[in-house]
């Protein structure tokens, strides 16, 4: 792997998404007919890599796919986007990751993932990637891969002062010693409360912003410095201990049709803008704008906006 200059490193999952758009979700035991089916490229890691490169940053993706039709299609697609995929491993002994996604007429979704090769990425697979981790401007991980991989990468990144982001999705308990090595965590509201609870804190009862503020302050006391809570159609909330600030970034009103990958869009663009040198507030605003575009389109990677679209909307809103 060769990558010179500034770049975002994404290590994570790549899935083939099998999407079913229908009026409503079935209840257990029920069959709902009349839906529309599409197949598209997904996986939280690969989605974030596409969001990062489309928003203008050189991007390297490391992960594992099966040596099967889905795996080769996913790799070809990422390479066509311009992403450096030379660190992706094709494993002949396991199938590629697949996600079955139901989307209702309100744009809400339910996702069930068979991780396949994603869960076979082990820390030994990273032995040739030390340079690429150490020289990244920003490294971003999610939780569809093994904890041992997450631990290893954040260990290297924190020693070399690489800006590190953990998107704790889907939520799993994370040891505090790993969290302390991360610069920014980006849970959604639900993941934030699960994380808070997993670290032994009691639930807070106040209104949304007060509650998030208190929960974030609790997490700061554990050594977690920057928390960005994504709130869907309510925007996001930033708690930045370093600068002693907490603020809300307002939602942008749009007609959402499909929220699949919107969180990944936010994360990929956040990483991309931080690697370009934006401060936290500006990078978060760009990420929020980008996610508001993504929800107006179908699919995960197919919904990621390009830099000219993000910049145009950002100028309309903030300048
Ligand atoms: O965040 C959305 C993604 O979650 C989908 O693309 C699906 O593959 C699952 O990983």
Predicted local confidence at residue 11, as pLDDT: 98
Predicted local confidence at residue 319, as pLDDT: 85
**132 CA from centroid of ligand 1 (Å):** 25
**145 CA from centroid of ligand 1 (Å):** 13
- Which ligand 1 atom sits closest to the C-alpha of 300? 6
**94 CA from centroid of ligand 1 (Å):** 19
- Which ligand 1 atom sits closest to the C-alpha of 144? 10
Predicted local confidence at residue 1, as pLDDT: 47
**318 CA from centroid of ligand 1 (Å):** 30
**112 CA from centroid of ligand 1 (Å):** 9
pLDDT digits (tens, 9 = 90+) for 182-202: 999 999 999 999 999 999 998
Predicted local confidence at residue 51, as pLDDT: 98
For domain 8-25+35-318, give the CATH superfamily: Ribokinase (3.40.1190.20)
Q: Ligand 1: residues within 6 Å at CB? A: 13, 15, 17, 42-44, 47, 99, 111, 113, 144, 260-261, 263-264, 300
* Reported pTM: 0.96
- Which ligand 1 atom sits closest to the C-alpha of 264? 1
Residues of the chain short of pLDDT 50, as ranges, are 1-2
**Atom 2 (ligand 1) nearest CA:** 261
Catalytic residues: 264
Q: Contact 19/39 with Cβ under 8 angstroms?
A: yes
- Which ligand 1 atom sits closest to the C-alpha of 263? 1
Predicted local confidence at residue 2, as pLDDT: 46
**Atom 1 (ligand 1) nearest CA:** 261
């Amino acid at each position: 792997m060769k990558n010179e200059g500034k770049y975002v490193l994404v290590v994570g999952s790549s899935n083939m998404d099998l999407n079913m758009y229908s009026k409503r979700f079935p209840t257990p035991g029920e069959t709902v007919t009349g839906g529309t089916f599409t197949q598209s490229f997904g996986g939280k890691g690969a989605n974030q890599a596409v969001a990062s490169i489309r928003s203008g940053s050189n991007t390297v993706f490391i992960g594992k796919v099966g040596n099967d039709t889905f795996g080769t299609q996913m790799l070809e697609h990422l390479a066509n986007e311009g992403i450096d995929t030379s660190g992706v491993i094709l494993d002949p002994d396991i199938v590629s990751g697949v996600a079955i996604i139901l989307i209702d007429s309100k744009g809400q979704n339910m996702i069930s993932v068979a991780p396949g090769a994603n869960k076979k990425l082990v820390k030994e697979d990273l032995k040739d990637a030390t340079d690429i981790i150490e020289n990244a401007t920003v490294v971003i991980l999610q939780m569809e891969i093994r904890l041992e991989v997450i631990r290893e990468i954040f260990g290297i990144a924190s020693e070399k002062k690489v800006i590190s982001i953990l998107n704790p999705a889907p939520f799993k308990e994370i040891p505090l010693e790993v969290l302390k090595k991360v610069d920014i965590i980006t849970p959604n509201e639900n993941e934030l409360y699960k994380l808070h609870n997993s670290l032994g804190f009691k639930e807070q009862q106040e209104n949304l912003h007060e509650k998030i503020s208190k929960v974030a302050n609790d997490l700061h006391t554990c050594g977690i410095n920057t928390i960005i809570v994504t709130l869907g159609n309510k925007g996001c909330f930033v708690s930045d201990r370093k600068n002693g600030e907490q603020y809300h970034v307002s939602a942008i009103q749009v007609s959402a049709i499909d929220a699949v990958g919107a969180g990944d869009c936010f994360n990929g663009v956040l990483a991309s803008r931080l690697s370009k040198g934006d401060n936290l507030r500006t990078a978060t605003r760009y990420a929020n704008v980008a996610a508001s575009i993504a929800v107006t389109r179908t699919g995960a990677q197919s919904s990621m906006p390009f830099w000219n679209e993000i910049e145009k909307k950002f100028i309309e809103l903030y300048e």
